[in-house]
Amino acid sequence: MSEAFVDFQNVWLAYNEELLAQNHFAVEDINLQVKQGEFIAIVGPSGCGKSTFMKLTTGLKMPSKGQILVDGQPVTGPLKISGMAFQAPSLLPWRTTLDNVLLPLEIVEPYRSSFKQKKDEYVARARKLLQTVGLGGYEDKFPWQLSGGMQQRASICRALIHEPKMLLLDEPFGALDAFTREELWCTLRDLWTEQRFNVILVTHDLRESVFLADTVYVMSKSPGRFVVKREIDLPRPRDLEVTYTPEFTAIVHELRGHIGAMRKDGAAINQ
């Protein structure tokens, strides 16, 4: 596929008019082409505009300059073909896990208008999805009865229930312990392998980005720019074992080097 699915053309964003007037941008001159079904990860120091980048992609924020095309169409407002999940699972405590996962279908068209008639079908779909992430048997439990990892699985299900073409994850595994995190990497890998939606994963865990993504972008801090693009050519399917191979470690090291260099530059400027 030659046509890019997500296409950023010289995108600049200032948070408000005042900052724009001062030429103070949260992200600068972003050029990015993501192929259909590609899994990309964005890494960088905290506060470098990674989350801003997500808001731009989903149309929650409009760029100050430049243009964003998704699926060939310019982004003009919230993009319903995307699903989002964040570090906090933010499930609704008065709804069961199943009802939490169904929430997007109550809101997004075309599901919304047919929600009452086709409820059984949707419930079946949600149950199946929960099953695939290992939450079978927990559908009728409330979020506060689940562990942190389980809540995050449910949160990802909620992001995927309306079969989005694009999944945006903002440090989704940041609050989990190392073992649970690796389990969820595999869950995400399997979901993606099966459904081949686009994924944009924002993270500060380099191992996570290298393990999961096809391409890793390194972002610099103030101004938020993409400074490095690294294709990850490790063969798929990738197993957790791959994270202990020298090739894997070499890539992680290389990326770490870029971030380290950036931090040093940043410190030099500050002096």
Partner 1 sequence: MNKKTLERWSPWVLLVITLVVWEGLCRAFNVSEFVFPSPSRIWQQFMEFKEVIAGHAWRTFWVTMAGFGIAIVVGVLLGFVIGSSRIAYAAVYPLMTAFNALPKAAFVPILVVWFGIGIGPAILTAFLISFFPIMVNIATGLATLEPELEDVLRVLGAKRWDVLVKVGLPRSMPYFYGSLKVAITLAFVGTTVSEMTAANEGIGYLLISAGSAMQMGLAFAGLLVVGAMAMVMYELFSYIEKHTTAWAHRGSQGE
Which residues form the interface with partner 1 (CB under 8 A)? Answer: 55, 58-60, 78-80, 82-86, 88-90, 92-94, 103-104, 106-109, 142-146, 148, 151, 158-159, 162, 170
Rounded least distance, CB 200 to partner 1, Å: 13
Cβ-contact 153, 85 below 8 angstroms: no
Rounded least distance, CB 172 to partner 1, Å: 11
The residue (of 95 and 227) whose beta carbon lies closer to partner 1 is: 95
Closest CA to 13 of 80, 51, 75, 61: 61
Rounded least distance, CB 115 to partner 1, Å: 12
Residue 58 in tokens: 């989903």
The residue (of 156 and 252) whose beta carbon lies closer to partner 1 is: 156
Rounded least distance, CB 51 to partner 1, Å: 10
The residue (of 74 and 148) whose beta carbon lies closer to partner 1 is: 148
Cis peptide before 110 (omega within 30 of 0): yes
Closest CA to 218 of 45, 5, 9: 45
The residue (of 41 and 85) whose beta carbon lies closer to partner 1 is: 85
Maximum alpha-carbon separation in the chain: 64
Cβ-contact 176, 159 below 8 angstroms: no
